[in-house]
Each structure stands twice: as C-alpha cells, then as structure tokens.
Amino acid sequence: MLMFSNLWKSCHASVCQLRFLNERGTTVDSLTGFKVNNCLITSQYAFCVEKAFKVEIVFVDSDANTITAEMRIPYAEFINEMRIGIVNNLGHYAVFNINLPEFQSIPGLKLSARHNFTIGTSVAALSFNHGYSNLGLKTGIISSVFANKEGVRFIQYDGMLNYGNSGSPLIDPKSFEVIGITSRRTTPSANAYNQLMGIIAGNLAELKKVEASIKLGDIDPIQVLVANQNQLKQLAKIIYKHTSSGVADAVMLDSILSFFNNDAVLEKEVKQIEGKFDFYENLS
C-alpha cells in the first residue's frame, strides 16, 4: 500500500540497530532503536546486556542495508556517559544522548501525544529482525490495549515479533508519529525463558557446592551434570533466539512523553553529558 511505502520513505532513516558485542567481538544481543531530537530511544534492556563489551550503533539507507551512519564504543561508556535519565524506570524505555558529529545528518522521529487508540486501526513497526543487519517494515492492526500490574499501558498488535525487535518504534502510518515502543522481552515465551534460565542457574550453584565430592572410578558425575546443565542453557538460548511471537506488545509513551516534556531537566542532562567527551572515533 502507498501509505506504508510513504512511511518507509519518511521514517526508515531514523531507525538503527544496536549490536552488543563481547570481548571476542561476538554479538551477545541485538536491539532496535530510533532517533528523537538528539537522543536515541530503545528498550530498557539496553541497560543490562550481560557480557557486553562494546555496542555498535548503525543506521541504514532506503535500500535497508547501506550504512549511512555508525559508531562502535565501549559498552561502559554507552551506559555511564551517554545515558540520560534513570535506569530503573517503569516506562520500558532507555534514552541516550547521540548529539555527536556522526549522527548529525540523521533525522529524528516525532513522538505522538495521543493517549487513546482505536482497536482495528493500522500500525507499522520498523525493526531489525533476528539480529540481521537489514532493516524491515512490518504492518498490522491494533488488536487490543491493556495495562500491567504497575499501571503501564501497552498497545497489543498482530505483528510477528522476533529477536532483535525490542526497542522498535510502533508508528501511526497516517501521521508518521511514534505511538509505542515494542518489547519482545515481555512476551510469555520471554517469561518462560527467564524462568528456565533461573532454574538452570540455581542447579549450577547447587552443583558447585558438591563438586569434587563424588567420583565413580574415572568419572566425575558432578561435572557430567554441570556439562548437561550448560548444554541445556545453550539450547534454551538458541530456541528462545529463534522463536517468534504472533502477538506483539508496545509500551505506550505516557512515561517517555513526560520525560521529554520536562525540557529543563533534559537540556541540563544533555549538556552535562556533552561536556564529558569531545569526539568518538569510529572503531573498525
């Protein structure tokens, strides 16, 4: 449809991939983000990526692949120097200052001030799927709205949700404004995965208490069990990474609108952060 084609033309340049790399340069997690003003907005999970050593931020052109702007910086600097606002917010978002030479030419999206949404209306999401480096456009309709136990409101839509989608902007195809921030980490599969990982961690902790205390000939049964648990852990990660959800949730912008509307606080924090560094060189 022409409506979604125009949305792509107007909005694709503002959406980026965040790849989190360990010390060996292997990707340990992937999120989507988008620019608003001189800030980068993404999922709150950017704050707690295990084993992340560096973060790579990449924007692409209208062909969905050609890089238009990129930066790779230490994860610690990304979190401690570029972060704006608090980590433990209930809005399911993260904001970072990217008022840097590398990203000056990147246009920003506009956040919608709407608070009510009609079930059955069209929406679109721009995201990097399965951790791949090409940007994609997804379309669907609003299927429901709800609030969690903390009172945070969500838009539920009928889009397919994959690894790498968290932090994607959910966009009104008529106004091209962002109306929500998608999160894969709030789905039932994500909750089940987190529960399983907790059980495995508990099992490994218990096994560590009795390691080297039992031996059957040349076989150490504790180490066999430890290897089994680690294999189960790796298998769970692979299954979770490649499992898609047919229902997607996007947090509404209630909290982040309040954050951005507090111009005095935001301007002060951005200036403080800008004073901490002069220029980041792109690292290969």
Mean of per-residue pLDDT scores for the chain: 85
135-138 contacts, C-beta under 8 A, 24 or more apart? 135/12, 135/15, 135/17, 135/60, 135/64, 135/65, 136/64, 137/4, 137/7, 137/8, 137/12
- 189: confidence class by pLDDT, cuts 50, 70, 90: low
Note the pLDDT tens digit of each residue in 151-168. Answer: 889 999 987 788 889 999
Residue for token pair 């839509």 = 157
Whether pLDDT at 169 is above 90: yes
Whether pLDDT at 81 is above 70: yes
- 90: confidence class by pLDDT, cuts 50, 70, 90: low
Q: What is the pLDDT of residue 101?
A: 94
pTM listed for this prediction: 0.80
Note the pLDDT tens digit of each residue in 243-263. Answer: 666 678 899 998 888 877 765
Q: What is the mean pLDDT of residues 89-93?
A: 75
Query: 73 CB contacts (<8 Å, ≥6 apart)?
Result: 54, 55, 57, 82, 280, 283
Note the pLDDT tens digit of each residue in 267-283. Answer: 545 555 444 444 444 44
Backbone angles phi, psi at 60, to 5 degrees: -125, 165
| Exposed/middle/buried for residue 91 (C-beta within 10 Å: 0-12, 13-18, 19+) | buried
CA 137 to chain centre: 16
Q: What is the pLDDT of residue 215?
A: 67
Note the pLDDT tens digit of each residue in 6-52. Answer: 999 999 999 999 999 999 999 999 999 999 999 999 999 899 898 99
Note the pLDDT tens digit of each residue in 209-233. Answer: 887 666 666 777 888 888 888 888 8
Instruction: Say which residue, 274 or 67, is predicted with more confidence.
Output: 67
